[in-house]
Amino acid sequence: MEAEYTLGAFSDEQAARITGVSLNQLREWDKSGFFHPSYRVDQPHVPYGRAYSFRDLVSLQVLNDLRNAKRIPLGHLKQVSEKLAHLGTSRWTSSTLYVLGKRVVFDNPATNLREEVVSGQRVFNIPLRVVIRSTRRKIEALNDRAEKAGRFERHRFVAQNERVFAGTRIPVTTVIEFLAAGFDHKKILAEFPTLVASDIEAAIDEWKAGAAA
């Protein structure tokens, strides 16, 4: 595993966008004690009172694969978390995890055995180095999108040469249609999670300009 981790703090929304874990899952896991963000203030209504570290994002990508892709029961993942509690915050990233049926197995360093492996059943490897590289790429893409927020661009062979929101393939006219249909910011952002508030504001300005023309 790579020794160096990119420093940074990421909000719930950013963590969900990067890792694939839904906002509801992140908040429920925090509330139940299954997975806390590294930076949190227990007092309610504190701005920026919760933030995820890069290590958290790597762990959450592993958990997304286990829970959402491989459908491992949450109850079993909680048991795994308790068993690996001595590893602290690195419990999901300190060793290669495998999936056998609907159970998680790993190479136990204390016994040098892969526990819970049944001969003849397929074991899926979660390549941690790939997860780390993927996390970094997604953070870079998120930062790139942030710099382009609120801007439009046009590219050949993208959305039939229509203008799109910079860094996406979402046509500006599509969001204007949602606005005209009465959708508010929150509903539009729910439909297009790669967009941000400044994108919607830019679309509103474009809509008003078109109406005034």
> Reduced to 3 states, what is the DSSP secondary structure of residue 42?
coil
pLDDT, tens digit, 9 for 90 and up, residues 41-80: 665 555 556 899 998 999 999 999 999 998 989 999 998 8
Give me the mean pLDDT over the 133-145 stretch.
78
**pLDDT greater than 60 at residue 120:** no
CA–CA separation, 167 vs 178, rounded Å? 20
Domains of the chain and any CATH numbers: 12-140 (no CATH), 150-212 (1.10.10.10)
CA distances from 135 to 19, 55, 105 (A): 7, 10, 23
For the record, the structure tokens of 88 come out as 């602290």
pTM, two decimals, is 0.60
Show the beta-strand stretches assigned E in 54-159. Answer: 97-100, 103-108, 113-114, 123-125, 152-153
